[in-house]
Structure 1
Amino acid sequence: MEAKSVLITGATSGIGEALVNRYAKSAMVIACGRNQEKLSKFESSGVSTSRFDMTDKEQVFDAASKIEAQDIIILNAGVCEYIDDANNFNSALFERVIHANLIATGYCLEAFIPKIKSGGQLVIVSSSASFLPLPRAQAYGASKAALSYLTRVMQVELQGIDVTLVHPGFVETPLTNKNDFPMPCLVTVEQASERIYQGVLKRKKEVHFPRRFTLFLKLFSLLPFNWWLPLAKRIKR
């Protein structure tokens, strides 16, 4: 059965924006984000909005207090920054990414889980970067690996709510447009949002795509690390 009400964070760009457009065809959507210009465009098309910064706990709880119970809540917001020189580790960047991708998700879980209807769904968007250690991804990969672990534990422990973990590969978004390296099997945000939509509709425990890329990463994650290490070092160069 398709959801009647959906709340989506990180809705003003990339996958989140595409998810709003996809769900708005059949459900009442609350688009959440910081970009007021984008939120105003959603409002003009009949989509409800909520403006808040996920990294600010007070703003998250204030926003949650103003919404009704939802069938689905999709926690999609996140950032990506790379550490270019491991020998000169950037702890400020590391803290910033961990806070935005992991700690802020914790704020949202506390604030929004009570807003999910019994029998509803929680969806958390992680990354296939969590499967293997990738060059320059000390902050981003660590945050997403922790987010995936967190989601798996929520799948074990949450009662009365289904939980779906999303592991996208490379998706063409404003974040990935900044990447200065090859991105194999790149998909559009429309393709990504449709994969997520269908996976959530089927109440899958995990949605990962594109499969020709994510299955490759999953395979290497099962092999001895020494098999992956030389390949990872070649990617770095």
Structure 2
Amino acid sequence: MGSIREKTVWITGASSGIGRALALQLAEQGNFVIASSRGREALAELQKVSPQRIRTLDCDVGNDENMALAAARLAEMTDQLDLVIACAGTCEYDDDLHLDSASYRRVFDANFFGVVNTLRVAMPLLANSAQPAFAAVGSLSSVVGMPRAEAYGASKAALGYFLDAVRADASHLPLRIVHIRPGFIDTPLTERNDFSMPFMMTPEQAAARIERGLARGHATIDFPRRLSWPLRLLGFLRPLWFRFCAPRITRIHSLRKP
């Protein structure tokens, strides 16, 4: 287990899945946790578990105006953030290459622009910490091009580049940037999947891996290794992926006719 204690932590996407598990785990270890989500009822239930350690801030990370209001409310709760974990996200698959731009925008609003908004809001409060850290949850699906995941995978790949660029710009700053790339986690999002998901982990297992990586100062936290290592290898050997693997799992065998 990690040793993150007595920190002020802001977690987005905290109403379910990895975000909720992290909020409960970090609160139990003596941290002050500000939990955010669009789901007010779910946040209220979360706070009941640890009312002294968890405060809630309902907000939509993908909505610029809503996040501007959230910034003021966040500043009323604390004048310092030691750690921010951006867990909010969504997934919409592109079946049959419909390329519906509205769907792509929804996914990018949550998975990419939501992280940009979260960091922008958090920056003034992170600046007041001696050892500030900003972490965001990406996905191992961004390592190689996955069928049907054009919108989701692209948003997570964009997130990875964004975090790398911020890390480069923060080279002379104490701000630590962390990219978290999990595999399949048993969450409301993955419950909708209609395909095999190898090496599935619980949110609690994922939270433990994330905290351990954060406590050890890792810049990238990939898990589980049984999935991350093969995917990273295929990322280097991309022709093999597109010749042997992708044709086995795609569901498209002809172009759509107008």
Question: Fold-level match, TM-score > 0.5?
Answer: yes
Aligned mates of 1:92, 1:170 — CA distance in 2: 25
- Does structure 2 retain, via aligned residues, the 8 Å contact 1:135–1:233? no
Aligned to 2:240: 227
For structure 1, which runs of at least 5 residues remain unmatched after alignment?
none
> Helix, strand or coil: the match of 1:77?
coil
Give the CA RMSD over aligned residues: 1.2
Cα distance in 1 between the residues matched to 2:60 and 2:167: 26
Alignment correspondent of 2:152: 140
3-state SS of paired residue (2:162): helix
SS in structure 2 at match of 1:124? strand
Q: CA deviation at 1:52?
A: 0.8
* Match 1:77 to one of 88, 98, 115: 88
Q: In the alignment, which residue of structure 2 is the partner of 1:22?
A: 25
| Alignment pair present for 1:89 and 2:103 | no
**Structure possessing the higher radius of gyration over alpha carbons:** 2
Q: Distance in 2 between matches of 1:216 and 1:173?
A: 23
Q: What stretches of structure 1 move > 6 A for 4+ residues in a row?
A: none
Question: Does structure 2 conserve the Cα–Cα contact (< 8 Å) formed by 1:32 and 1:51?
Answer: yes
- Counterpart check, 1:215 vs 2:229: yes
> What is the rounded CA distance, in whole Å, between the counterparts of 1:96 and 1:2 in structure 2?
33
CA contact (8 A) 1:64 1:115 kept: no
Tell me what 2:254 maps to. Answer: none
**Counterpart amino acid of residue 91 in structure 2:** C
Correspondence for 2:15 among 12, 25, 39: 12
Q: Distance in 2 between matches of 1:42 and 1:64?
A: 21
Instruction: Structure 2 unaligned segments of length 5 or more: list them.
Output: 252-258
The TM-score, its normalising length taken from structure 1, stands at: 0.95
Partner Cα separation in structure 2 for residue 233 and residue 39 of structure 1: 42
TM superposition shift of 1:60: 1.2
Number of matched pairs: 235
User: Structure 2 length normalisation: TM-score?
Assistant: 0.88
